[in-house]
Amino acid sequence: MRCTPGHIFLTGEVDASGQHRFAPIASILRDDGTLVERDATIIRARTGAKLGQANDALVSVVYRDQSIADQAAPERRTLVRAGIPLPSVIIKDTLAPAQSLAQHLADHGITPLADGRLRTPDGTIHDACNWPEGATPFDTHEARNWIVQANGVPYCPPWIRDLVAEDETEGLRVVSALSA
């Protein structure tokens, strides 16, 4: 589907009267909002993940930026949606198949909780999981769409943050090119 930032879509959010509301796609994307598809399925606009499914679950991850001159970088915490693609890793001299964090957690019997914490098969609750060493959740453009918060602050990928919807351009004027 192609549209402009000002196109209006039916969102998955409901107003006080219980009705779904309409909003410009730029606003929906900035707010990590949802869309209602033709078949009434509600999906996350940034990712296409179905609301309430494993890929849409929140997961708190910790990582370290690349260290500089052998100095340990500070630990950072980020809240992501579980469908975020993990970086490729080499296991026993073999490149492991690409997978999402949701697949990795499921393969290990780990359940994301509503607040981003995780429950392991033995019932232990963990505040976060480690992101693969030597990488960050911000390393690829696709992965950034799955990030919800960075260090406790709402996160919006630059490509979305910089969108301008028509209703946001009041006072903006287009000037034709001047002839030489």
pLDDT of residue 88: 83
Q: What is the pLDDT of residue 46?
A: 95
Q: Mean per-residue pLDDT for 93-97?
A: 77
With beta carbons less than 8 A apart as the criterion, state whether 47 and 81 touch.
Answer: yes
Question: pLDDT grade, residue 163 (50/70/90)?
Answer: confident
Cβ atoms of 6 and 166 closer than 8 Å: yes
Question: Residue 170: inside a domain, yes or no?
Answer: no
CB-based burial label for 83 (10 Å; 0-12, 13-18, 19+):
buried
Check whether residue 82 and residue 104 sit in a common domain: yes
pLDDT digits (tens, 9 = 90+) for 40-82: 999 999 999 999 999 999 999 999 887 665 667 788 999 999 9
Looking at the structure, tell me whether residues 116 and 155 fall in a common domain: yes
* Domain co-membership, 17 together with 82: no
Alpha carbon distance 133, 76 (integer Å): 13
Q: Mean pLDDT over residues 8-12, rounded?
A: 92
Share of the chain above pLDDT 70, in %: 88
- Is the pLDDT at 178 greater than 60? The verdict is no
Give the model's pLDDT for residue 133: 84
What is the per-residue pLDDT for 47?
96
Which range has the worst mean pLDDT, 3-7, 37-41, 142-146? 3-7
Segments forming the whole domain that contains residue 126: 57-161
- Residue 150 and residue 66 in one domain: yes
Residue 173 has pLDDT above 90, yes or no: no
Q: For strand 58-64 and strand 34-36, is the pairing parallel, antiparallel, or unpaired?
A: unpaired
Q: What angle do CA 56, 53, 132 make, to 5 degrees?
A: 50
| Whole-prediction pTM | 0.83
For residue 1, being part of any structural domain is answered with no
State the total domains in the chain: 2
Same domain, 39 and 127: no
